[in-house]
Amino acid sequence: MSFSLKYRPLVLEDMIGQDAAVLQIEGMFKRDDLPNSILITGPTGSGKTTLARIIARLANDVEPEKTIQVRFKPLNSDCGIFPQDEYVANKDGQGLSVDIGEGYGKYTVAIADGGGNLSKPLTGGEEYLWIGSKISIMGDSKGLCRGKKLGEIDRIKLHISEDLVDTLEINGAEARGIDDVRQLIKVSKYAPKKNFRIYILDEIHQWTPQAKQAFLKVLEEPSKRTLFILCTNEPEKLPNTIIGRCQQIRLSRVTLKECSLLLRDVAKKEGYDFPVDVLKQIAHLTRSHPRDALQALEAVCNYSAGGGDITDAEKLISAIEQVVLVPPSDYLHKYLLSLYRGKYTTALRIVSQVEKVDYFLSCVMDTHKQAMFSLISPKLVDSYSKRWTSSLKENDITKESISIELMSFMLDEMVKSASLVKEYAVEPNHVLVAMTARLVTQVKNAQNNEG
């Protein structure tokens, strides 16, 4: 199971960086005053859908279930011919057992010691999350295979069941038309099995204008036992009439520190002790999005398990950049240096190859901001930008070669271009090329005036 699923919050206490939202939700349930419509807004990766599921669980008094799954391939040479090629051992009472099949029955899953004897059975606790060394699976004394080795496993996985009673998730990017909303209105009138019939409406800003208007009637006169949870990262695209009928919960962007602490805790649970700078770099490159950061951490764990040297910062950062699909730092640095030097050809050649313009611009703005900070005061520079600021010094980019005023103007132009790209009014790459040419021209004019 991927880290992003394995460590996805199931309870409010596990939500990181959202203290205000957590207190707001806890207050709703303590006062027994749950609204019929909730609007959760926040940046991508802040946990909107995750929080919606937690609210759904709380509303219907459903406890999240965690079980241990042990997947192993049987060793036929030790104990007959098994009916299947692979089995899953699930939590059963106080321990783990596996049902081999008709004629074989159930067997306790236990660790075998060096002599092949059974030792302590696995109880299903998280302390039994082994990675790496193989563990023997032995049949117990009551079974047909009495003490024989059933198989070996590489790892024991934590399986999380997220079955939500009376809850339906609808993706607004797929079901977005008037007919979809009419069907939603129809089924929302059915009585729930538990406390509420809950609808999690994700990406609701992508609904058509007609669908949004049709939905208003339901929000005005909702069933007492129906709960709508709307999620969006673009609330400005929703009519005020919808926003005004919902209890709003705003999620903030997770900070670099909070994301780094999350990565540290997960890495320790997985048996890794990475340097703090590595965890900060992962958080930085993933823009502190917990889901993306956990995926990148998983890749780093695989990189380390495969023999990669985590003490080699250059290689490790390169590996992370490939996983999270960010523009390579050398690529960004080369682009910005060409801007600062007033080099049309290099800068335009780079941007002509960019496909994800919005993400590229976001990374460029962040990197340029650190360059501007380094010229103002080294105290403003983040620790993960030291390699970049060293590169600036090596290339003689100083306050004498480019003014703070010009750097500020360049950042402002980048912000305007990023906003224009988000509107999808024109081809994004055209915006990027025009911005690049404009910035290089501004730098060259400033250099000519100084000369």
pLDDT digits (tens, 9 = 90+) for 194-219: 888 899 999 998 898 888 988 888 88
Which band of pLDDT confidence, cut at 50, 70 and 90, is reported for residue 293? confident
Q: Is the pLDDT of residue 303 over 90?
A: no
| Percentage above 90 pLDDT, the chain | 24
Average per-residue pLDDT for the chain: 76
pLDDT digits (tens, 9 = 90+) for 251-268: 988 888 899 999 999 988
What is the structure's pLDDT at 391? 87
Q: Is the pLDDT of residue 418 over 80?
A: yes
What is the structure's pLDDT at 185? 83
What is the structure's pLDDT at 322? 63
The whole-angstrom separation of Cα 7 and Cα 301 is 15
Which of 60, 51, 61 lies closest to 247 in space, CA to CA? 51
What is the structure's pLDDT at 117? 35
Which band of pLDDT confidence, cut at 50, 70 and 90, is reported for residue 318? low
Is residue 84 within 8 Å of residue 98, measured between CB atoms? no
Which strand (E) or helix (H) includes residue 198?
A: strand 197-202
What is the pLDDT averaged over residues 360-369? 89
DSSP-derived 3-state class of residue 71: strand
What is the structure's pLDDT at 143? 46
Q: Is the pLDDT of residue 381 over 90?
A: no
337 alpha-carbon distance from chain centroid:
31
What is the structure's pLDDT at 187? 81
Q: Is the pLDDT of residue 139 over 50?
A: no
What is the pLDDT averaged over residues 132-157? 44
Residue 270 structure tokens: 């997985």
What is the pLDDT averaged over residues 387-415? 90
97 alpha-carbon distance from chain centroid:
33
What is the pLDDT averaged over residues 367-379? 89
What is the structure's pLDDT at 324? 59
Which band of pLDDT confidence, cut at 50, 70 and 90, is reported for residue 308? confident
What is the structure's pLDDT at 148? 52
What is the structure's pLDDT at 399? 87
What is the structure's pLDDT at 331? 77
What is the structure's pLDDT at 84? 52
pLDDT digits (tens, 9 = 90+) for 324-334: 555 567 778 88
Residue 244 structure tokens: 């005004």
The whole-angstrom separation of Cα 250 and Cα 409 is 31
Q: Is the pLDDT of residue 118 over 90?
A: no
